[in-house]
């Protein structure tokens, strides 16, 4: 499958390189939680990787076979076929409402010809308030599907998914499992 360059685009876009306004600069310091007990090498290879961000107050599991690439203060996870990428980052000194107001103009700078397919909707994710929106658009002439969630944990956390057309459906189970694994640290 043709690699879209999504991971590179996202890590650049989310690092503030596209002129993010003050306060939207990412501050996601991610660490891997140690696995409980020692597992034989074959089990370790399939054991879930759990990440946490104490500053933002969240943790989550990486889907099996997906890769995690920290770059600066963001974490980009990518499907094995490179057709889906998710970027996570926490926002400093900003409320969820402020982040929503600032996020839309930033997305519009990079994603052209946006069409919202699922309008912004408030919900909860493992007890945390979340606002979600999805759509389609183009990045450098390539058609993509996108989803953005603003998760209110200890700090607002942005979950930004980009995918090649049809790949969200192909990876729906993995994406849903990953999203459901995002939990508030206690």
Q: What is the pLDDT of residues 36-80, one digit of tens each?
A: 333 333 333 445 688 888 888 899 999 999 998 887 667 899 999
User: Domains in the chain, ordered, with CATH?
Assistant: 6-184 (3.40.1000.10)
What are the residues whose beta carbons fall under 8 Å from the beta carbon of 3, sequence distance 6 or more? 82
pLDDT at 48 (0 to 100)? 63
- Specify the pLDDT at position 9: 38
Q: Can you tell me the distance from the alpha carbon of 130 to that of 15, in angstroms, rounded to the nearest whole number?
A: 22
pLDDT at 70: 80
The pLDDT mean for the chain works out to 76
- Enumerate residues 6+ apart whose C-beta is below 8 A from 129: 96, 122, 123, 151, 152
Alpha carbon 113 to its chain centroid, in Å, reads 21
161 DSSP assignment: E
Please return the burial class of 81, using the count of CB atoms within 10 Å of its CB with bins 0-12, 13-18 and 19+.
middle
The whole-model pTM stands at 0.75
Instruction: Evaluate whether 6 touches 85 at the Cβ level (below 8 Å).
Output: yes
What parts of the chain have a pLDDT lower than 50?
Answer: 1-46
Residue listed under structure tokens 């999203």: 179
């Amino acid at each position: 499958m043709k690699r879209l360059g999504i991971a590179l685009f996202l890590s650049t876009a989310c690092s503030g390189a596209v002129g993010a306004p003050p306060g939207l600069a990412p501050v996601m310091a991610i660490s891997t939680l140690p696995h409980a007990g020692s597992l034989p090498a074959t089990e370790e290879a399939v054991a879930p990787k759990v990440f946490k961000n104490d500053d933002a107050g969240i943790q989550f599991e990486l889907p099996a076979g997906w890769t995690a690439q920290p770059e600066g203060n963001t974490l980009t996870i990518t499907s094995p076929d490179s057709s889906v990428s998710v970027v996570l980052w926490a926002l400093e000194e900003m409320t969820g409402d402020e982040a929503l107001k600032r996020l839309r103009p930033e997305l519009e700078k990079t994603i052209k010809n946006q069409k919202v397919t699922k309008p912004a909707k408030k919900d909860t994710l493992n007890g945390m308030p979340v606002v979600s929106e999805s759509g389609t658009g183009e990045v450098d002439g390539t058609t993509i599907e996108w989803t953005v969630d603003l998760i209110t944990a200890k700090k607002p956390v942005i979950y930004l998914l980009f995918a090649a057309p049809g790949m969200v459906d192909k990876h729906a189970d993995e994406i849903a499992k990953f999203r459901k694994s995002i939990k508030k640290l206690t």
